[in-house]
Amino acid sequence: MKGKNTAFVGEFSTFSGYFCGMEMIVGHKKLEQLVESVFIAMGCLPEQARTATEVLVAADLRGIDSHGVARLSGCVRLWEVGRVQAQPLINLVHETPSTAVVDGGSGLGLVVAPHAMQIAIEKAKLVGTGWVSVKNSNHFGIAAYHAMMALPHDMIGIVMTNASALVAPTFSAERLLGTNPICVAIPAGEEPAFVGDMATTTAANGKLEILQRKQEAAPIGWIQDEQGEATTDAHALKKGGALLPLGSDRTHGSHKGYALGAIVDIFSAVLSGANYGPWVPPFPAYVPMPENQPGQGIGHFFGAMRIDAFRTTEDFKSNMDNWIRRFRHSRPIDPAQPVLIPGDPERETHARRLQDGIPLMDGVWDDLLAVAEKFSIKI
């Protein structure tokens, strides 16, 4: 692999890929081509391979590296052990004018999620809002991709998903919740959209992985050890520890982060019939499935609300612009760090990486090459 790897150096003009210190920088089109070839080789239908690729690479473009192509080899391994179906039967199993439950047919969440979000959008067109809970799915990339699907329709998009248990509720020594993100995307007029995309934990697992790689300590308030004591050991999760809900401890409101993570779990999985709490399937294919699972696969929740189901789109957007400008121009604590609107950092990263390429950690690139080799894909 190393030979192939070094072959990229200096070939930026042709392959959009070059080394930069420890990082490999790859153009997004090159990356998309590789990812799409892998999904096609797995047996995905061309249109679904295209969608899954767009969702996955959107994470890398927006700077959420932990949810992008770094997950590709994991998806392939889940397919190899039969936990992901390349051509899933995605079924609408129940509906009312404003709601639906979708069975993802064990498909890639990267395919199931946009399908379900589209149903929410269609329902919102007809009755003002649409709400879809999904069972029997898998990892769906970044929530923001799906929530932002609502924006061109002048709708608010709301997306949640559960995930395998890494988080301890307040007072618990056990891990019972995933990092269970919530994303809300809200259109504006002249200003860019508001896109709040957040794990319901103090820190995302991806940030912890960065500290692990750098052999650095974690801030107090991110994790607890197996006994439930605060720790700075970035490796504590592997030793039976847990991530902490947003708020860190009871004094600082961790019971609120716990409640938010719980709401995501219930909307995504108890409403749909997916697995919840400690029974959510793990992402790594080598980790055994929890016993006595009460549902199917992992669960998601999607919502779309048409702006003009409430007031005129013009009035709303002009107020949103005013809201955004007032917040952006508020008096900062440090003049060098202005107040941000949710979505600002990801939008800036997206624009930069579209232009300059996507930096991949060395391990990630090697991983992609290994996947490509497995399917005899030429890079």
Interaxial angle between packed helices 362-374 and 28-42, expressed in degrees from 0 to 180 and rounded to the nearest 10: 40
Binding piece for its own copies, criterion CB under 8 A, among 34-42, 56-64, 139-147, 223-231: 223-231
Which residue from 74, 192, 206, 253 is in contact with its own copies, where contact means CB under 8 A? 253
Rounded to a whole number of angstroms, the minimum distance from the CB of residue 100 to its own copies is 8
Binding piece for its own copies, criterion CB under 8 A, among 1-9, 22-30, 83-91, 271-279: 271-279
Q: Smaller CB distance to its own copies: residue 42 or 307? A: 307
Nearest-CA neighbor of 257 among 142, 170, 163?
Answer: 170
Binders in 107-166 for its own copies, by CB under 8 A: 127-129, 131, 133
Which residue from 74, 228, 290, 350 is in contact with its own copies, where contact means CB under 8 A? 228
Q: Smaller CB distance to its own copies: residue 315 or 373? A: 315
Which residue from 101, 166, 237, 364 is in contact with its own copies, where contact means CB under 8 A? 101
- Tell me if 210 contacts its own copies by CB under 8 A: no
In contact, 211 and 217? CB cutoff 8 Å: yes
- Tell me if 331 contacts its own copies by CB under 8 A: yes
H-type alpha helices, 62-138: 72-80, 109-127
d(CA 144, CA 257): 20
Which residue in the block uniquely carries the two structure tokens 């072959």?
7
Which residue in the block uniquely carries the two structure tokens 């991530």?
243
Rounded to a whole number of angstroms, the minimum distance from the CB of residue 76 to its own copies is 32
Site map 21..50 versus its own copies, x via CB under 8 A = ------------------------------
- Tell me if 320 contacts its own copies by CB under 8 A: yes
Which residue from 8, 276, 283, 365 is in contact with its own copies, where contact means CB under 8 A? 276
- Tell me if 92 contacts its own copies by CB under 8 A: no
Give the tokens for residue 206: 């991806």
C-alpha distances (whole Å) from 350 to each of 48, 58, 77, 215, 373 are 23, 8, 28, 28, 29
**CA torsion, ordered 201, 333, 349, 318, to nearest 10 deg:** 100
Nearest-CA neighbor of 139 among 73, 63, 45?
Answer: 73
Binders in 51-90 for its own copies, by CB under 8 A: none
Provide the 3-class DSSP secondary structure of residue 154.
coil
- Tell me if 14 contacts its own copies by CB under 8 A: no
Q: Smaller CB distance to its own copies: residue 215 or 251? A: 251
In contact, 86 and 76? CB cutoff 8 Å: no
